[in-house]
Every structure is written in C-alpha cells, then in structure tokens.
Amino acid sequence: MKTKNIIALLVMILPALPLCGQGAKRINEIKRDSRYIYAESTMPEASDAYELAKSLLVNYAKDYAVENGIGGDYYGESNVLAQCDSIQLNRGDKTKVFVYFMKAEVSGLASKPGTEPAKAPVQEEPRVQNQPPVPVQGTPVERPAPPAPPVPAPAEPKKSEPASVKVTSSSASGMLPEAWQRKVIDELLSSSSFAEARGKLPRMKQEFQVKRFGRYAECKDVSKAFWLVGDSSGKLVTVLGPGGIRTDFRSGATASLDSYNGYELIWFTLYTNK
C-alpha cells in the first residue's frame, strides 16, 4: 500500500519539475534582454508577491520613461499592467512571482531590438519626483535633484569576500553623516524579509529620503549606490553602503558587492540633505 502511495505521489510531482526549470530559464533570458523591464518578489503568499511585483514594475517603468525623456503616457500604470506577463515559481514555503513586459509592446511599436518610442524634448527645469505605484494623499513637492551621496573612505580592498574588520561604533549606520539617513538604514535592516525591505523604498522615495532605486541592470553608477542584499530564501541578508569596499550595515564589517554574486540585489541612493 505504501509503495502505491509513493508511486502516485511521484506521478503528480515529476511532470511539474520540467515546468519549474523552464520558468527559471525564461526568467534568466528576460533578465539578460535589454528589451524588457521586469520586477520580482518572493513572499509566503502568492497574491502578496504578485501585488508587490506589479507595484515595483510600474515604478521601474516610470523611472525608465523619465530617465529616457519619453513623453506621453506610454509607460503609465494602465499600459504597463495591460501588457505585463508573469511567471510563478515555488521557493520552499514561499512563492516567487516574476512580472515583465517588452518595452516595444507598451509603446505600440514593433517588437524588434533597439526600437524605442519617440523621445520628448529635454526640459531644462528640474524633474518632478516620480510617484510610487501606491495611492498617496497630497501632491509631491517639486525640488531639484541634490548632489550624489557622499562616498565613505575605502578600506584596504579584498575582492573575494567581506573583510572581518569591525567598526568601533555600536551601530554601523552611525557612520552616515545625517540622523535621518541613519534612520532609513536602520528601518530597512529591521525588515523581516528582503521583500519587506524592498517594499519600503517607494514610500521612502515619496518622503524624499530615497532618491532613486531599481534593479542591478538599471544602476548607472554601482559604486555610488547603496544595496539591499537578499538570499534565495527571501531573507534580507544586509544593506551595503556605497564605495568600492563597502560598509556592511548589518555586521559593521567591510564588504565587496562582488561577494554577493547570485543574491537578489536592489540598489538605491539617498539624498544628501533634507
């Protein structure tokens, strides 16, 4: 009887394994293709992961439109959500949801490499901050982009793994010059998961604490960015500071971004003053 139950279980499970492999392969293909914009989230509930992934996708699309001077509502929320597709994978007791769309499909152009919608004339006045994809009360305040955040003085470089040198401060975030910057890092570190920490970034951007954030492929200057680091189980590993040799705000040690190849990474920058 036990043998029959085991066989029945294998009959149900084995056909699903190739599908999981195909989904992971497709995700990797999309990540390497510059024609796509994508976002992902891993959470215990599939519906929560899907909602967060969609929210991040809309935010990434708006940032892409602003940074590339694309006018109109090509990358507005309704267009993005109408064209996006999703891939769902099981990750232990959690569900990973990957959402994506092809830029040319949203713009209404033929989906061939290198095709982009027409760009609007570049404006001289400061840009208005992008709105996060969640509804908020009030109108965002227009303000010019301040200088890039200060880069901490680098320690002796070690490329392959984080160094074991500890800072003397009881909190590594104490190295940041502004109290509100230290509060941002501490709030991110208090998150129970990588998804929770990432989900705080749109609100922090609305509050003019976080200036920009996005996926690794969208970061124009890796050395000047802070980084959220998550592992395959969805845990928030740490927050890294800017620089070649970075401060690991979780442990207080120095670390290199190269040490976290294969981890989930989201970059962000902070305003230098408020």
Tell me: pLDDT of 110 over 50.
no
pLDDT tens by residue, 239-264: 999 988 899 999 889 999 988 988 99
- pLDDT value at position 60? 86
- pLDDT value at position 160? 41
Tell me: pLDDT of 269 over 50.
yes
pLDDT tens by residue, 133-163: 444 444 444 555 555 555 555 554 443 444 4
Q: Which CATH architecture has domain 16-107?
A: Roll (3.10)
Residue 171: CB atoms within 10 A of its CB come to 14
Tell me: pLDDT of 7 over 60.
no
Average pLDDT over residues 41-48: 87
Give the pTM. 0.44
Average pLDDT over residues 87-99: 91
Distances (CA, A) of 255 to 116, 174, 203, 270: 38, 17, 28, 20
Query: Rounded to the nearest 5°, which phi and psi values hold at 154?
Result: -70, 150
Average pLDDT over residues 12-38: 76
Size of the chain in residues: 274
In angstroms, rounded to a whole number, what is the distance separating the alpha carbons of residues 42 and 40? 7
Q: Which residue has the higher pLDDT, 12 or 52?
A: 52
Tell me: pLDDT of 211 over 80.
yes
For the chain, report the end-to-end CA distance as a whole number of angstroms: 69
In angstroms, rounded to a whole number, what is the distance separating the alpha carbons of residues 255 and 157? 9
Percent of the chain with pLDDT over 70: 66
Tell me: pLDDT of 25 over 50.
yes
Average per-residue pLDDT for the chain: 75
The domain limits of the chain are 16-107, 172-270
Tell me: pLDDT of 114 over 80.
no
